[in-house]
Amino acid sequence: MRKEIISVGLVAVSLILLLVTSLLVYREWAPEDDSAASIYYVSPTGNDNNAGTSVNPWKTFAKANSKILPGDTVILKNGIYREVLTIYVANTTWKSETKHKAIIDGGFPPSLLSGDWNNIVTQWNNKCKSIGEYAPLVTFTNLSNVTIDGLYIRYSCGRGISFSTSGNSGKSDNNEIKNNKIDWTFNSSIFARPEIIDGVYPNQMNNNKFLDNTILRASFGDEYNVRVEGACGVPNVKKYCVNVSTSFGGNNTLVRGNIIAWGEGEVSPQPGSKNFIFENNVLIGNKNSFYAGMIEGSTVRNNLFYAPEEKKIAAGGTEDDVTNGEWRFGLRNEKGHLKMGKVPNTNILIYNNMIINTMFFIAGANSKYISNNNNIYFGNNTLVAGKDLTTILRITHSAVTGSGDPALTALFENNIIDTRKNPTSKINVKLSSNDKVTFRNNLWPLQNVPNTVKGGGDVYTNDPGLSNAVVMLNLKYPVIGPDEINVDELVTALNINNYRLVNGSKAVGTGTTAGSTIGVAIPTEARQIDYFRNNRVDVPDIGAVELSNNVTPTTSNSLNKSTSIVIRAKARNGLSVAGAWPKVELKIGNPTTVQPTVQTFTVNSTTYADYRYTHTVPVGISEIKVKLANGDGSVDVYIDKLTLGTTVYQTEDPTTLSTGTWNSSAGACVGGYYSTELLHCNGYFQYEAK
């Protein structure tokens, strides 16, 4: 059946579904049973004299706080809330009825600046000074087991979401901040840190999770600071200083699946943090996309970092002496970190990351304060210089005159460094005799490589064999920008496929599996699983992605041979409300004549990856369905293409039949034929022979 041939019955069913969904309020996540005493509702159009049900919701957060008990859920109906959500009850859930449609608005949108940063002082002073630069829109203190799910928090005079502890006995454990959108905050978008108490921090905060949030334009207050004397704590001086854009503190913190873009300051685990996991995130155009000091036991893996081709514009147009406009990611202990952490960076594992147009650095000194970096592993990362990236790798651990000599213990292996877009981009590594650093099996350019980084097993070439890494990114820093950022355009500004290996690459099979000789731990997963979480094969390839996981097999699609099937897919939003990744079923065979074969894949990444299956008997394309098996209204999957042998089928092709796709105008699951890659509500794609 061709796509344009639509049966009358199907059209009728589709029209009925459209009519029904237009008459009903579609609640993507809300519980179905309003009779449960533990579920309450709030609406901007509600009334606090109501019963707090879906039909008769309360109006204010204060009313909800006065009624709820531990274990209860508060559903925020669609609309704009112009009040602060302060949570007072532990073990409660505060959830948007429809993702990002419950909007907590701080009343300070970008449009107030009329496109000119010089207006920020007058406008912020008028609207916000009485509120304060640290005031959050969502906050709680000394509470555990709190969930904040699917809210849209925007235009804050201070912070977005903030939670903390107070006093020696205060605790804030097992909280989840997930599926939220936070945009345009004067200070931090998320600020989670226990009170600074010597001997107690960070044991007051444990096991907190930050999952699948979208965080945009944090810490624009830096533009205010450079225009006001004393704003950075130095009287009578206008000074450039840096706020923390996104801050995570405590023990055993998990930060996964978030999109973090255009942060003016630092995306940072707070000093004193222990056992911090930062994985599967996409970071776009942040001044410091990951910045760690005084932390113990951190894993940074399978993240995508990228930035515009041009240099970072310093706040107020001032000279930024620290970074010289570099977009960056790295490690440095600072003297100010001693207020919260006592142990310098120790046991930090950084692997399987794509680092595009962004410098990686390790520094042993800051303003003549020296500090060690201990047991740092940096392996199987792919680094690509942008056209204006002055330095792609910088390690400065030489002695500091009059201060001393910081020590570095580190292992750098199996990394790609590609400087083709900017051959002058520097590899600047300064070490001294007390540093124990091993470089091995890295792929370097032919020029400008200092002897300090050369090691056994290295590969030297100006062409690492990446598919299209010299492409210029169509990505512009938004300056003030509109009141809303188009997140889809932002995320798709970089095509990750451009950074895959190709046949003949000198990175293939030239990695190392040797052990450490200097005591630095080598993560098993770096040797076994690549950026897309596909298995590495035999001797690992250099870089973040294995060739064998991203090249279509050349086996013939003969009727006399087994058939290779490759599905290219990604999760739309990461984990679902229920905590599950999308599950895709590959159904093979005609169920009217034979029981179909079912192969199930878990699509556990928000970036495209290949999922492979070899069918042991001949199969034609008309016998294959690609089906979303666990769609529940919050777990969706994009299917980019299906490769059968050597033939590629895509959903954009006019011979593609798709059902159960998401129709945004209808706001529901609607059957029919759509040229889209998105599957929703257990729909499927099916293809016809070419």
Convert the pLDDT of each residue in 621-642 to its tens digit: 777 888 888 776 677 788 888 8
- Residue 428, pLDDT above cutoff 80: yes
Q: What SS3 state is found at 634?
A: coil
Grade residue 13 by pLDDT with cuts at 50, 70 and 90.
Answer: very low
Q: Give me the mean pLDDT over the 105-128 stretch.
A: 96
Q: What is the model's pLDDT at position 7?
A: 37
Q: What is the model's pLDDT at position 25?
A: 33
Which of 125-134, 358-367, 379-388, 599-608 comes out lowest in average pLDDT?
599-608
Structure token pair of residue 531: 């950026």
- Residue 471, pLDDT above cutoff 60: yes
- Residue 478, pLDDT above cutoff 90: no
By DSSP bridging, strand 190-193 and strand 159-164 are parallel
Which of 118-122, 528-532, 638-642 comes out lowest in average pLDDT?
638-642
Q: What is the model's pLDDT at position 317?
A: 72
% of the chain at pLDDT higher than 90? 61
Q: How would you class 122 by CB atoms within 10 Å of its CB: exposed for 0-12, middle for 13-18, buried for 19 or more?
A: exposed
Domain ranges of the chain: 8-23+553-687, 271-551
Tokens 């960056």 correspond to what residue?
328
Output the CA–CA distances (angstroms, integers) from residue 232 to 224, 227, 238, 241, in the order listed.
Answer: 10, 10, 8, 6
What does the alpha-carbon distance between residue 62 and residue 84 come to, in Å, rounded to a whole number?
A: 9
Q: Which of 17-21, 532-536, 635-639, 668-672 has the highest mean pLDDT?
A: 532-536
Q: What is the model's pLDDT at position 689?
A: 59
Q: What is the model's pLDDT at position 453?
A: 97
Q: What is the model's pLDDT at position 492?
A: 85
Q: What SS3 state is found at 268?
A: strand
Q: What is the DSSP code string of 608-622?
A: -EEEEEEESS---GG
The CATH class of the 8-23+553-687 domain is mainly beta
Give 411 or 650, the one with higher predicted confidence. 411
- Residue 551, pLDDT above cutoff 60: no
What does the alpha-carbon distance between residue 668 and residue 686 come to, in Å, rounded to a whole number?
A: 21
Which of 53-57, 207-211, 436-440, 610-614 comes out lowest in average pLDDT?
610-614
Does the global pTM surpass 0.85? no
| pLDDT tens digits, 347-374 | 999 999 999 999 999 999 998 899 999 9
CB 286, CB 336: distance < 8 Å: no
Q: What is the model's pLDDT at position 323?
A: 54
- Residue 1, pLDDT above cutoff 70: no
- Residue 394, pLDDT above cutoff 90: yes
Q: What is the model's pLDDT at position 95?
A: 97
Q: What is the model's pLDDT at position 577?
A: 61
- Residue 473, pLDDT above cutoff 70: yes
Q: What is the model's pLDDT at position 617?
A: 61
Q: What is the model's pLDDT at position 669?
A: 54
Grade residue 557 by pLDDT with cuts at 50, 70 and 90.
Answer: very low
Q: Give me the mean pLDDT over the 300-315 stretch.
A: 92
Q: Give me the mean pLDDT over the 381-398 stretch.
A: 96
Element (H, E) at 222: helix 222-225
Q: What is the model's pLDDT at position 16?
A: 37
Sign of the CA dihedral running 617, 593, 1, 20: negative
Q: What is the model's pLDDT at position 539?
A: 92
- Residue 182, pLDDT above cutoff 90: yes
- Residue 523, pLDDT above cutoff 80: yes
**Average pLDDT, rounded, for the chain:** 85
Q: What SS3 state is found at 491?
A: helix
Q: What is the model's pLDDT at position 448?
A: 92
DSSP β-bridge partners for residue 417: 383
Q: Give me the mean pLDDT over the 444-451 stretch.
A: 95
Listed residue (360, 379, 373, 394) closest to 436, CA to CA: 373
Which of 261-275, 410-424, 588-602 comes out lowest in average pLDDT?
588-602
What does the alpha-carbon distance between residue 620 and residue 553 come to, in Å, rounded to a whole number?
A: 17
- Looking at the chain, the number of H-run helices and the number of E-run strands are 6, 51
What does the alpha-carbon distance between residue 574 and residue 83 come to, in Å, rounded to a whole number?
A: 29
Q: What is the model's pLDDT at position 578?
A: 65
What does the alpha-carbon distance between residue 261 and residue 264 come to, in Å, rounded to a whole number?
A: 9
Q: What is the model's pLDDT at position 616?
A: 60
Which of 38-52, 256-270, 578-592 comes out lowest in average pLDDT?
578-592
Q: What is the model's pLDDT at position 676?
A: 58
Q: What is the model's pLDDT at position 179?
A: 96
Q: Give me the mean pLDDT over the 615-626 stretch.
A: 73
Q: What is the model's pLDDT at position 647?
A: 76
Respond yes or no on whether the N-terminal peptide bond of residue 202 is cis (omega within 30° of 0).
Answer: yes
Q: What is the model's pLDDT at position 592?
A: 42
Listed residue (63, 80, 77, 95) closest to 26, CA to CA: 77
For residue 336, what are the contacts with CB-CB under 8 A and spacing of at least 6?
Answer: none
Tokens 């932002």 correspond to what residue?
490
Q: Which of 4-8, 548-552, 554-558 has the highest mean pLDDT?
A: 548-552
Which of 404-408, 504-508, 636-640 comes out lowest in average pLDDT?
636-640
Q: What is the model's pLDDT at position 596?
A: 57
What does the alpha-carbon distance between residue 494 and residue 474 come to, in Å, rounded to a whole number?
A: 8
Q: Give me the mean pLDDT over the 591-610 stretch.
A: 70
- Residue 287, pLDDT above cutoff 60: yes
